[in-house]
Structure 1
């Protein structure tokens, strides 16, 4: 919390360039200057509510002070002489001269929380909006009030949360708790259009922020919906709903009760229609019949099973243990053959090819090795020749997953990066799935073999598209203490779970 990360936006890998601890509390807004040298960050904290610094060294280039409560918004004048404006829940705005930035004056025109402030693209003006339903226009150089925009008849009937300028600075867009967006002509201060978003009785349709670019006019609902707007329409012409979840997974879930089992379950895999292989913290894998509700076989290992996989024919299990070894054991109930070692150490993740005897192993040295598997005369699995090695990951490999058709292999690592290769050759398909900020703990392909869902220690879930690797859908803070498992259902749904003891079912809406 309170950290700013700066990423390379040019190279394909989008590497992290630098990271700075700016505030002790949450960051509310961030703004680059027009020279791309300085960054203004505002929010909440114990010792300060804002800071302005150079992006490369982190050196301070001014003092952002004079507010009594958290700063909610900020904007930098996009030309010289430099100016900065901040707004706060203390009902004030503070105007700064720079560089270095120093306090110039406090603006007290609003009578309630000031929620957002934005400089025009020319830098000649800035505009502010607040919970008093007011919109004010100011001179961008002096900080003097020019006029109020709108009145009791044309203005918003609820708090105004967001404001943006049109690219030509002729109009401004405001978003409000009254479930509308309004477009205003700056020169005449008149209302041009009111756009209603959804059912006005639904609080989830409150409009929390907006953006006006050369290509799109966008407003964001409290529900997370992205609303595409037009000056020619009184309603959004498109509403993008990205992810939805419900707490109920199934109407009538089946309770599986394992008698005498009190140890934590680490991994479950389906062996056959009514048999599960369950790995537990007491160093055992149990073959459990859901039909008879009995444990038909237990195998003891020299470590707790972290991952249990069933081979193509369902007769052998591949088990990754907590000591980073990989072993194979028979899944046949009356077969008492001892487990056989496949990988002695350093294995951090495993995946089995869904169509053929092939094992992918992720290692602590950041590599993935794909091996052919062979069967002995007794039916036991043996490690065959190495097929290929891939070394794209920058940290230890924490998750591996083959697509259902066996065409792709995805590898996630401790840095939050996911790489996809062709499973047959190991050739790189994409390295652009880089938005997790902590270890990728689980991945699952959808049945179309084109989309993948990932869950991470960073608490987020993402849905990725192999045909459009630059795009993604985010489910932020899905499980606040980390996402431990995700599982795709068909083409448009998935399940996630975390150490918060909650299971969520998500609907992916394009």
Structure 2
């Protein structure tokens, strides 16, 4: 009984309007990295489906940067803590940990020998620190600002120089080591968002909320000029990144464009127009080998094409908010994973390659709580926006007509053959046939939590807070309450019929998983124990012989019907968060989704 992690489909960066996002690049040119929640996500730049997630921070991680040697990554979080950890081992062993400032870390820079680092951000006593990476002892002072420092960079050859940019609309230039304040850079009229030295150290640039990019001499800090004359961009500039040969750079702006500049001539060679929506604002960029990347406010990562500025070579999509529900469906023999998130976003993924996209058109406006596929190849979803949606998965677009408005917020939806759907709402149970409400049950006398329709379409089971399962018979277009209930140990949190209809499985808040035999009138009951905390998700394998449960204890158990001792235990499935939903691709492959906005696939061996 063993398991193995097969794939990680990583989350997108977590974005905030008007706040720049630092993307780190690997000095060898293979990977790039960014942060989401308490995770640092490392992705292969040529094949972004290859990803690794680092989860050791206790607070939200704000920035991560590779050391120039490529052997370590330094990541800083909202509490001011910086962790320096190994990139070569799968375990990512911690090398050192420091708290150089007492607030959110905004940027990190290393000297080219990987021995010293500068950390800036928000703090109580100071907004920046520069220290030796192996002892934490200070090698200078980054004082001189009255507001938080947004950005820092270190010249990558001797004599070393440090430049910083701050919310007080100025930058500062330091010489060292030990680093001492030399003078203030005061050409910007708004926040200074990003400062970067060219790789050869001859120049550095500062960019700001005033839409300007200024160029300076890397060694002396003397002003040289600006890019683009009057204005570099029509909006605030959040990030810049130099070309490896130091002759060009790209800049990302709130005006929804990325520009490619010839630094010597001071002119824009190419303007990449990224869209017209507010979510198309560009908040981060990275020039890595031949790849030009930018990050939109939506969290999408764009690979820019110099030859075709109006269309990126590829756009990496996914989730940036917590995943709430999952389901799997095969189209033309290829399994696709459908995932719904906290912000109403639904994505579909090729289970083998990780290629993914979202449905086009306007979908849910709030959390997607449950998703299932019916026999008409429609994805049936219920959401906190009080609707049920039926979306054709072959057309891959939302239909305005296939939305059913509910009287109360739906918590759960299930489907059966013949166009039947059952929605369990906060104070109501609704039976639907062919996307229309045909029957509602009100004044239930108990609080319904979750429901399931028998695959044969004859029975609806509803689990409640009254620690009972209520069985209703489906007769034509009505639900008939014949007073049949089954006692459970606790409040039912999730339930499902097996694909062959032989069993009903439930989990409850008393940490019990139970399987009832349908053939002997639900009297045959087997209980499975293992979870230390409330289980919240449950899914049957396609062969109806195994089922998986996920709990608030971060555990996933795969149980065998009829043998309570035969189980696979997957601890720490998503490390920081419980598994919000589970689905099966086949009898040996389980998919899990969680609040880290990542999807994982596990190979199981019985």
> One fold, TM greater than 0.5?
yes
- Alpha-carbon distance change, 70 to 320 in structure 1, aligned in 2, over 3 angstroms: same
How big is each residue's C-alpha offset from its partner over 1:136-159, in whole Å with a ceiling of 9 and x where there is no partner?
11222332222223312x733333
Give the whole-Å Cα distance in 2 for the aligned partners of 1:319 and 1:53: 55
C-alpha contact 1:453 1:461 (8 A) present in aligned 2: no
Of the three residues 486, 491, 503, the one matched with 1:304 is: 491
Deviations along 1:160-200, one digit per CA (max 9) or x if unpaired, are 2221110000112222333333222223334333333334x
From 231, 240, 243, give the equivalent of 1:163: 240
3-state SS of paired residue (2:279): helix
After TM superposition, the structure 1 = structure 2 runs for residues 6-17 of structure 1, keeping only pairs within 5 Å, are 6-14=84-92
Instruction: Tell me which residue corresponds to 1:440.
Output: 579
Contact 1:173 1:182 in 2 (8 A): yes
Q: 1:322 aligns with which of 486, 506, 509?
A: 509
Closer, same or farther: CA 107–342 of 1 in aligned 2, 3 Å = closer
Moved more, 120-129 or 273-282: 273-282
Are 2:541 and 1:353 equivalent residues in the alignment?
Answer: yes
Superposed CA offset, 1:75-109 (max 9, x none): 12223333221111211002233445443332112
Deviates more, 1:341-350 or 1:84-93: 341-350
Q: Distance in 1 between matches of 2:550 and 2:279?
A: 43
350-359 or 55-64: bigger deviation: 55-64
Deviation at 1:285, TM superposition (A): 2.6
- 1:383 has 2:458 as partner: no
2:553–2:578 CA contact under 8 A, matched in 1: no
Q: Equivalent residue for 2:14?
A: none
Between 277-286 and 214-223, the greater mean CA deviation after superposition: 277-286
Partner-residue secondary structure (3-state), 1:210: strand
Task: Write out aligned runs for 1:7-406 (5 A).
Answer: 7-14=85-92, 25-53=103-131, 61-152=139-230, 155-199=232-276, 202-240=277-315, 242-243=317-318, 245=345, 246-248=363-365, 250=389, 251-253=403-405, 256=424, 257-258=428-429, 259-263=443-447, 265=449, 267-272=450-455, 273=457, 275-288=459-472, 291-296=477-482, 297-331=484-518, 335=521, 337=523, 339-343=525-529, 352-359=540-547, 372-373=560-561, 382-383=562-563, 386=566, 389=568, 393=571, 395=572
Question: Which stretch shows the higher mean deviation, 296-305 or 210-219?
Answer: 296-305
- Name the CA shift for 1:196/1:385 in 2 (closer, same or farther; >3 Å): closer
The alpha-carbon distance between structure 1 residues 358 and 43, as it changes in their structure 2 partners (threshold 3 A), is same
- Bigger RCO of structures 1 and 2 (CA < 8 A, at least 6 apart): 2
What TM-score results when the alignment is normalised by the length of structure 1? 0.67
Does the 8 Å CA contact 2:208/2:238 hold for their aligned counterparts?
A: yes
- Structure 2 CA distance for partners of 1:7 and 1:293, relative to 1, 3 Å: farther
| Residues 447 and 337 (structure 1), Cα distance of their counterparts in 2 relative to 1, 3 Å cut | closer
Aligned counterpart, 1:407? none
TM-score by length of 2: 0.58
Counterpart CA distance in 1 for 2:306 and 2:240 is 16
Give the 3 Å change call, closer, same or farther, for CA 131–348 of structure 1 in structure 2: closer
| 2:471 match: secondary structure | strand
CA–CA distance in 2 between the matches of 1:369 and 1:462?
19
Distance 1:131 1:109 in 2: 12
Partner-residue secondary structure (3-state), 1:335 = coil
Cα offset, 1:71, TM superposition: 1.9
Deviation at 1:216, TM superposition (A): 0.5
Structure 1 position 212, deviation (Å): 1.0
Counterparts of 1:459-498 in structure 2 under 5 Å? Answer: 460-463=596-599
Contact 2:542–2:586 (8 Å) recurs in 1: no
Q: Which runs of 5+ in 1 are unaligned?
A: 374-381, 396-411, 418-436, 468-510
Of 58-67 and 73-82, deviating more is 58-67
For the aligned residue pairs, the C-alpha RMSD in angstroms reads 3.9
**Contact 2:550 / 2:580 at 8 angstroms: preserved in 1?**
no
Structure 1 residue 42: Cα displacement:
2.8
Give the conservation status (yes or no) of the 8 Å contact 1:309–1:318. yes
Shift of 1:230: 3.7
Change (3 A) 1:47 1:164: same
